A and B are shown apart, each in its own frame.
Chain A
């Protein structure tokens, strides 16, 4: 299989450390120009995956391609990638300009062109005035920009970001998210970044791959992966989800009737087995709550409020339905004419597309 539109491709790549499989039979193509997020909890193999692109780890089996070239056995310094490390790894004995120029110097680019490109790269990250400073004289955010400039100045085929914003405070992090994304778009550089922060992945990436125990659970655009999570793991790792265990009652045409513990609901028969059990996920904010007796039958179930947690813009409501707890979210806007309280019976309603069947593991 040759795929000209992908800058990075894994072909059944596996990495084993001793007795643990860090990455298991990974096949993945990252299209040119994409901003690709590897998301998952620690130990899921996302960092190992990134490091295999760099060549800092060699796959135990399988192959890795950068721009169509098989780089599996190619040393890191002969591959075309730029990397921003978690701690930036700026060389402390070199000035900002020398740090940025390092990659160009290693590629034997003439002094005049080097100076020109360093100036350009520093202009992109808005650090021209800092060229003669040393890394320890810079703030965390500035160091991060220098690291970025150093990685992009060599015009690599792929830019790798290892938890790039992890060391910054929350405010700066959100600012850098926007900045990194617009920079990535304007440069059009294929970017792979590793993060354990779901919000960061959703905010920045075009494509999010959720990893778990060395395997990719799902790859999708941020909207799709949040709205239509494929597995229980994805549904609960990315944001909060409620799960209902359902029993298929009958299938008629493209509709299926599912019994979720006493209430029967109807769903399109897409991604749902013909018979047996199915797990359904729904986001708390997709559940429309109303005082009992006001919901539409068929898509409504009744529940008792157990707990109410006020969170400023929203109110979280923990409910109980025949022994199963689940949560809902109310916007604290002025149009709502009722207040939830423990012990109150409410009707829960939702659009049928909000109820997502989970792939059985």
Chain B
């Protein structure tokens, strides 16, 4: 391994210390709490137990939420990739100037608060919302559909937040690809489809992996969107963490947090293992 220059170490030190003091240490403490015994009088009792995790493992409601979280996240990931990749291809072929404008346009929705956007969806999907009112007025449906508090509502809400992340990371990778790779594939007899499968797709894997990871991590923690659009009927893992904290079940909240973290790490690792972006990255 190469030694870093002292100036670089000095520059990196303050943020590293910050992260240690305000992230790593609390996380370690949280880990400890997850093994503490719940207590009716205090937040928790200093007595080591694996009961919190066992309780989760035996709770069928928890397993339902876990499964639902996974399915929702996978649907969001798949939809983001399917909708985002073609847009990224178009954006990456623009002139640098147009691309910059386009990326700003894509980022624009992110400038609106998640809360505002969730309420926006409520006015569209709600019982008295735009879609229901229109359909009822046109007598296409006899009474309003229940669209809120469902997987669809949460999915739609998450997509509008997360799609830009996917598009931007893929578009940046594609824009950085030398077009001679595709030409080389064509010169060797690969048509558009096979050229995409064998060359463009693997070469874009760093952007796809980054985009998928971002989208997945943000899906896991998108509390506002999940709560406002999922309501009490459609809870995900992050909702359970919040509910446990507000009901002062700290050890349970802590153990759920680590399940969430493990979830993120496992899927993150699977994304890396599946796409192997390191194959096309770096020199030497």
Which residues on A are within 8 Å of B, measured CB to CB? 54-56, 75-78, 81-83, 85-87, 89-93, 102-103, 106-107, 136-137, 150-151, 154, 160
Determine the chain A residues whose CB is within 8 A of the CB of B187 once the complex forms: 54, 76-77, 81-83, 103, 151, 160
* Chain A residue, CB-CB nearest to B205: A93
Contacts A87-B180, A93-B202 given; does A150 touch B188 at CB 8 Å: yes
* Chain A residue, CB-CB nearest to B284: A136
Interface CB pairs A-B, < 8 A, 18: A56-B183, A77-B186, A78-B189, A81-B187, A83-B183, A83-B184, A85-B183, A87-B180, A91-B185, A91-B203, A92-B279, A93-B202, A102-B188, A102-B198, A103-B189, A106-B189, A136-B283, A154-B188
Distance in angstroms from B12 CB to nearest chain A CB is 27
Determine the chain A residues whose CB is within 8 A of the CB of B185 once the complex forms: 77, 91, 102
Distance in angstroms from A143 CB to nearest chain B CB is 12
- B177-204 vs A, Cβ < 8 Å mask (1 yes, 0 no): 0101101111111110011001100110
Distance in angstroms from B75 CB to nearest chain A CB is 29
- B227-271 vs A, Cβ < 8 Å mask (1 yes, 0 no): 000000000000000000000000000000000000000000000
How far apart sit A151 and B276, CA to CA, in the bound complex (Å)? 27
* Chain A residue, CB-CB nearest to B195: A77
How far apart sit A107 and B191, CA to CA, in the bound complex (Å)? 11
Q: CB within 8 Å of A: which of B158-216?
A: 178, 180-181, 183-191, 194-195, 198-199, 202-203
Tell me whether B283 and A54 are in contact (CB under 8 A). no
Tell me whether B189 and A154 are in contact (CB under 8 A). yes
How far apart sit A136 and B283, CA to CA, in the bound complex (Å)? 6
Q: Which 3 A-B pairs have the closest CB atoms?
A: A103-B188, A106-B189, A89-B180
How far apart sit A335 and B76, CA to CA, in the bound complex (Å)? 85
Tell me whether A106 and B203 are in contact (CB under 8 A). no
How far apart sit A90 and B178, CA to CA, in the bound complex (Å)? 11
How far apart sit A154 and B190, CA to CA, in the bound complex (Å)? 13
* Chain B residue, CB-CB nearest to A156: B187
Is B280 located at the chain interface by the 8 A CB criterion?
Answer: yes
Determine the chain A residues whose CB is within 8 A of the CB of B284 once the complex forms: 136-137
Distance in angstroms from A149 CB to nearest chain B CB is 12
How far apart sit A275 and B276, CA to CA, in the bound complex (Å)? 75
How far apart sit A93 and B198, CA to CA, in the bound complex (Å)? 10
How far apart sit A357 and B191, CA to CA, in the bound complex (Å)? 51
Contacts A85-B180, A136-B283 given; does A75 touch B191 at CB 8 Å: yes
Determine the chain B residues whose CB is within 8 A of the CB of A106 once the complex forms: 188-190, 194
Number of contacting residues on B, CB 8 A?
A: 24
Distance in angstroms from A201 CB to nearest chain B CB is 22
Distance in angstroms from A38 CB to nearest chain B CB is 17
Determine the chain B residues whose CB is within 8 A of the CB of A87 once the complex forms: 178, 180
Which residues on B are within 8 Å of A, measured CB to CB? 178, 180-181, 183-191, 194-195, 198-199, 202-203, 276, 279-280, 282-284
Contacts A77-B190, A102-B198, A103-B189 given; does A92 touch B183 at CB 8 Å: no
How far apart sit A142 and B185, CA to CA, in the bound complex (Å)? 20
Known: A76-B183, A77-B191, A154-B189. 18 other contacts (CB 8 A): A54-B187, A55-B186, A75-B191, A76-B186, A76-B187, A82-B188, A83-B187, A85-B180, A87-B180, A89-B180, A89-B183, A91-B181, A92-B203, A93-B279, A103-B187, A103-B188, A150-B184, A150-B188
Determine the chain A residues whose CB is within 8 A of the CB of B282 once the complex forms: 136
Count chain A CB atoms within 10 A of each CB in B183, B190, B280 and give the residue with the most.
B183
Determine the chain B residues whose CB is within 8 A of the CB of A86 once the complex forms: 180
* Chain A residue, CB-CB nearest to B283: A136
Distance in angstroms from A104 CB to nearest chain B CB is 9
* Chain A residue, CB-CB nearest to B181: A89
Distance in angstroms from B271 CB to nearest chain A CB is 17
Tell me whether B184 and A89 are in contact (CB under 8 A). yes
Distance in angstroms from B258 CB to nearest chain A CB is 35
How far apart sit A82 and B181, CA to CA, in the bound complex (Å)? 14
How far apart sit A107 and B184, CA to CA, in the bound complex (Å)? 14
Distance in angstroms from A15 CB to nearest chain B CB is 17
Tell me whether B203 and A93 are in contact (CB under 8 A). yes
How far apart sit A71 and B125, CA to CA, in the bound complex (Å)? 55
Determine the chain B residues whose CB is within 8 A of the CB of A102 once the complex forms: 185, 188, 190, 198
Determine the chain B residues whose CB is within 8 A of the CB of A56 once the complex forms: 183, 186
Contacts A77-B189, A77-B190 given; does A92 touch B180 at CB 8 Å: no
Distance in angstroms from B179 CB to nearest chain A CB is 9
Distance in angstroms from B190 CB to nearest chain A CB is 5
Determine the chain B residues whose CB is within 8 A of the CB of A107 once the complex forms: 189
Count chain B CB atoms within 10 A of each CB in A75, A83, A150 and give the residue with the most.
A83
Distance in angstroms from B178 CB to nearest chain A CB is 6
How far apart sit A78 and B191, CA to CA, in the bound complex (Å)? 8
Determine the chain B residues whose CB is within 8 A of the CB of A89 once the complex forms: 178, 180-181, 183-184
Determine the chain B residues whose CB is within 8 A of the CB of A82 once the complex forms: 187-188
How far apart sit A230 and B181, CA to CA, in the bound complex (Å)? 39
